[in-house]
Amino acid sequence: MAPRDDTGPREFRIVGTRPVRPDGIDKVTGRARFGADMVMPGMLTGAVVRSPHAHARIRGIDTSRAEALEGVKAVVTRRDFPAEVPEDHLDVLDNCMAGDKALYDGHAVAAVAAISPSIARKALKLIEVDYEELPHVTDVDEAMKPDAPVLHEEGGDETVPAAVSRNVMHRYEYGHGDVEAGLAEADAVIERSFRTAATHQGYIEPHACVASVSPDGYGELWVCTQGHYMVRNTCAGILGMDEGDLRVTASEIGGGFGGKTTVFIEPVALALSRKANRPVKMVMSREEVFRATGPTASTSIDVKIGMKRDGTITAALAELRYQGGAYAGSPVQMGAMSAFAPYALRHVKTIGYDVVTNRPKAAAYRAPGAPMAAFAVESVLDELCQKFDLDPVEMRLKNAAREGSKASYGPTYPRIGLSATLEAARDTAHYKAPLGPDQGRGLACGFWFNFGGDTCVSMNLTPDGTVTLSEGNPDIGGSRASMTMMAAEELGIPYEQVRCTIADTGSLGQNEVTDGSRVTFAVGLATIKAAQDMIRKCCQRAAQVWGIDADAVIWEGGAARPAGPNAGKFAPMTLAEIAAIASNTGGPIAGHHEANAEGAGVSFATHLVDVEVDPETGAVKVLRYTVCQDAGKAVHPAYVEGQFQGGAVQGIGWALNEEYIYGEDGRLQNPGFLDYRIPVCSDLPMIDTVIVEVPNPGHPYGVRGVGETSIVPPMAAIANAVSRAARVRMAELPMSPPRLLAAIEGSRG
Amino acid sequence: MTQLHITTRINGDTVEFLCEAEETLLDVLRDRLGLTGAKEGCGTGDCGACTVTVDGRIACSCLMLGAEAEGREIGTIEGMATTEALHPLQQKFLEHAALQCGICTPGFLVAAKALLETNPEPTEREVRYWLAGNLCRCTGYDKIVRAVMAAADDMRRV
Amino acid sequence: MRYEAPRRTEDAVALLAGEAGKAQVLAGGTDLLVRLRTGFIEPDLIVDLKRIPAMKAIAAEDGGWRIGAAVSGIELGEHDGVRRDWPGVVEALELIGSTQIQSRATLAGNLCNASPAADSVPAMYAAGATVRIVGPSGSRDLPVEEVPTGPGKTALARDEVVESIFLPARSGRSADAYLRFIPRTEMDIAVVGAGVSLALDGSGTCTAARVALGAVAPTVILVPEAAELLVGSRVDDATLADLAAACSAAARPIDDKRGTTAYRTRVAGVLARRAAAIARDRALEKA
């Protein structure tokens, strides 16, 4: 991507304001249609039989009694899927419908489609699965031991050392310099081990879809997903369909946070529909969401950091062990890459192990892999600050990565905003406010890469001059508003003159999933370029009408104008005027842009939190919270703040109470919102925000992704606050009341 | 299977429906009456996305049988705006960006409306505790609480 | 499954008695519907009590209060008389679930669900409540602590229902309080709960007390040895410390997903101490 044309600060007309989102009224009146809100004629209800065992060989499945039940129209097992599927879809298929083995509690083993939910439920009970239970392992450190039960006989790849279990699938290493030499220069070295529990994205909308496959092999799918193009490609690959034969429409999506970046029930619904020759609706229960979708990894991490008395970090080392459930692909690679990304270090090394266990396959969760690493690293940094009596902001500023710093994961940074967020935190009233008894203040930094990726946008001019913008990324938190704003900004027209649609897979080229904080950056970039394309065409039409050269026409204030006095004297032609005569000047006018977007700028944040600890119960109350994050340029500041606040609160949940609890039997004990405790409204204070704007040189308006960085610092910030308030260092998440009380009482001897 | 014949009022209209005894009010609203504004986030009364009013009080429609609606007065999100205008809460939710994905929004609005009808001048703490049964995973609740307080302000001025 | 909503208690009893299959009583339904949905129970008959006028009433009786089995948390909380006399019982019921749950949840349902962690039950134990049970051969009254017999089990026969709960008369400087510990501020099941009811004389000396704990044994338990410590004391800090130790000693909890044995044991004492102090302060305010 070319750098910004104009180097000076740009004056914006619409970007930076807070208009009402275009899909807002539908969402406050109950009209918006989410995944489970779709009805198709003759629709059946699908339901899934799931393994009650953590690890079991499937000796046989008898579906005959279910098939014989009146009202049952189809039953599918793995046999109803192709024996051969593309290599990159194999694990996904096996996760959606088990083959030889059930690999976790909740693993799908069969599915039915029936004329009503109650008949579908009855049919599930009539399916008999013959299991041979196998030893299981759900803990990451246990799974790495050489004698641990093995999930996949073939084991890991060539990067894995010989002495560890076959459950280790890959080993990663990043860094530069000589860590041992660096540690020798330190006045103190602190080494500590950390553990974090697996957590779930906790989106309020369970997965839902309606599939319809007709006898000619053509399929349609309505689904709540973060990426309907991904759904199309994956389902087509799994089912042996041509991608063009499956049209996927994204419903409104009730939260995802990374958890809806893969498929679970979608290929099953399509297989049932194909077999029954009827549309099939599938909606997960909340219990199924917890047991059988994609939580994030649980981890075990060792961090060792050397520091001089003045706060200079001399060397840093981390070993990260992440279990990502039953298949390779835990987010440890990004944990290892991001662990020390905020700091300019001469000597740094991170090692990551990707481990499989008998748990559901991890999916992405907001900055996947980074929050756990940041928790460990920022905790040790805080302990070093305490040891040398250093100010947490000043110590971090001293070591902060800047433009030109070599990141621990390889690249050299362009212009970045870490120091600006630290200074913003230091300048808040919050940072200077006094603390009461049993209260503590914690600070931590976080980093996320941000992504770009395949993007395809189309923009059409209607005869009355309104502009319809079609993009291919589900709007998960107000992105229609951002796209509409950027289109209107570039075209020089009012916000209200643009309409944004999320197009189905039949209408646009490939679009990468709504992930990696990519949408406002990449789709925004494509929208701006599509608008420029439309402007170019509008200028040509005006030139044609005026009988002058297209080069002699400029676009300003939403209208084509002669470039200067030499071009001729013509009244400006607005977009509406050009639209009105389009039919006579060559036909409809459209702009479009397709690219694999590069130049996503990294984003840093500094979080500041005050907590109060009840030393008799171990209860933690969050008293005050401030997020300072670099947004590059905030297109719609209210939704940027919303991303900051939402990420911080998910982090509060992860820090204090959220965890996947497995019993000795390998079964998930808390598959519901009662005992998987996401924060409720009364748990929280207002979440203050400071939007720092250090423009991204890779985007015309300077935009950086903002969605993910906000979940990276909270656990560390809260752990630092709790550790200071309770005067005991907490190294395990969640810091639940029993765990904290035990630590407090343990520290008293 | 024998179905029950139920007569109730929903958003001011008399409505009759047939349902199985085990069907919840939420199932009836969504699958039999096409009122899909109430959402099922958990089915166990833990998330509040299915909140409706029953004789003026908020309840989780997933924790109530459809048959229990006989003779009651049910209110859903679909009945919140008048033909002329959005309810002030709906307007403030839009202005304050109090929704991101929007799945929890109908439940929050129905619950918040009931709050302001019983307590026109709630404190932040009262708002937070009243809404503790409505889970939102996107916003961190900040903008929701602000929108409710702003709507309360507006409604007191009218 | 059949659904019936009788208008009289005896009709409810007759329905239960006449059902050959499995029958379930529906009051607020906040537990029952969850168990229905998860397939944990598959009843043939559901008997809804909410159309029985006597079960929806709160009535003054012998200086105390008779609370119908289908009275919801909100309805109880709106009743000034009960709130004045038994603030601990009211706050315990009000702690259950969300505002939405409060429009449905009932004291009787919480009791008959027979969870050791039920919030209102320790408060009712401490209050010395009496439960009126109606069956085919008439009604009987049981002390509340004789109703739960184990997790999910009660002393009710299959054709009996709870019609009402009676909270006795309150006089002078007496008050109650209930506290529970949950990891969040709302929406959780109690990890530990503690209910205390006491009466003081003119000098502030405790003349009577009852102490109950939740979620530390298979049922809610009374801790008479803790109550005895209060009687004769001025409920001062030293007494409260002894009370905490007695409650921790009486706790026989288990490790589960919600808490550890050590945690529950420790916090049972902390909460009992804090609840007793609140009850004392409430009683002193009555002067």
User: If pLDDT is split at 50, 70 and 90, which confidence band does B1 have?
Assistant: low
- Contact check, Cβ <8 Å, C191/A737: yes
Instruction: Determine what percent of chain C is predicted with pLDDT higher than 90.
Output: 97
Q: Which of B4, B58, B67 lies closest to C99 in CB terms?
A: B58
Predicted local confidence at residue A439, as pLDDT: 98
Q: Please check whether residue A323 is in contact with residue A154, taking contact to mean a CB–CB distance below 8 angstroms.
A: no
Task: Identify the three-state secondary structure at position A362.
Answer: coil
State if pTM tops 0.95. yes
Residue-wise pLDDT for A238-275, tens only, equals: 999 999 999 999 999 999 999 999 999 999 999 999 99
Q: Please check whether residue A219 is in contact with residue A241, taking contact to mean a CB–CB distance below 8 angstroms.
A: yes
Taking the C-alpha atoms of residue C105 and residue C98, their distance in angstroms, rounded to an integer, is: 10
Residue-wise pLDDT for C230-284, tens only, equals: 999 999 999 999 999 999 999 999 999 999 999 999 999 999 999 999 999 999 9
The ipTM of this complex is 0.98
Residue in B with minimal Cα distance to A636: B97
β pairing state of A56-62 and A298-307:
unpaired
Contacts of A456 (CB under 8 A, 6+ apart): A472, A508, A509, A510, A511, A526, A592, A593, A594
Distances (CA, A) of A321 to A3, A336, A733, C68: 38, 10, 15, 57
Predicted local confidence at residue A83, as pLDDT: 94
Taking the C-alpha atoms of residue B156 and residue B93, their distance in angstroms, rounded to an integer, is: 17
User: If pLDDT is split at 50, 70 and 90, which confidence band does A39 have?
Assistant: very high
pLDDT at A3 over 60: no
pLDDT at A200 over 60: yes
DSSP letter for A178, please. -
Q: Which residues of A631-701 form beta strands (DSSP E)? A: 687-692
CB proximity B91 to C under 8 Å: no
Residue in B with minimal Cα distance to A30: B37
Instruction: Determine what percent of chain A is predicted with pLDDT higher than 70.
Output: 99
The answer for A 648-667 residues in CB contact with B (under 8 A) is 648-650
Which residues in chain A are contacts of C187 at CB distance < 8 A?
673-674, 677, 680
pLDDT at A462 over 70: yes
Q: Which candidate, C214, C191, C210, C188, places its Cα nearest to that of C199?
A: C210
Torsions phi, psi for B9 (to 5 deg): -120, 130
> Looking up tokens 């998987």, which residue turns up?
A676
How far does B43 lie from chain A, in Å, by closest CA?
7
Predicted local confidence at residue A268, as pLDDT: 98
Q: Which residue numbers of A have CB closer than 8 Å to C's CBs?
A: 121, 287, 616-619, 656-657, 661, 669-670, 673-675, 677, 679-680, 682-683, 736-738, 741-742, 745
How far does B68 lie from chain C, in Å, by closest CA?
8
pLDDT at A425 over 70: yes
Q: Which candidate, C103, C148, C154, places its Cα nearest to that of C122?
A: C148
Predicted local confidence at residue A5, as pLDDT: 47
Mean pLDDT confidence for A113-129: 96
Residue-wise pLDDT for A53-85, tens only, equals: 999 999 999 999 999 999 999 999 999 999 999
Residue-wise pLDDT for C170-214, tens only, equals: 988 999 999 999 999 999 999 999 999 999 999 999 999 999 999
Residue-wise pLDDT for C213-226, tens only, equals: 999 999 999 999 99
Residue in C with minimal Cα distance to A287: C38
How far does C186 lie from chain B, in Å, by closest CA?
6
* Average pLDDT over chain A, rounded to an integer: 97
Predicted local confidence at residue B84, as pLDDT: 87
Mean pLDDT confidence for C137-141: 97
- Could you tell me the end-to-end alpha-carbon distance of chain B, in angstroms, rounded to an integer? 52
Chains that touch C (3 or more CB pairs under 8 A): A, B
β pairing state of C138-143 and C148-150:
unpaired
pLDDT at A1 over 50: no
Give the alpha-carbon dihedral of A519, A522, A528, A532, to 10 degrees. -140
Number of H helices, E strands in chain C: 11, 14
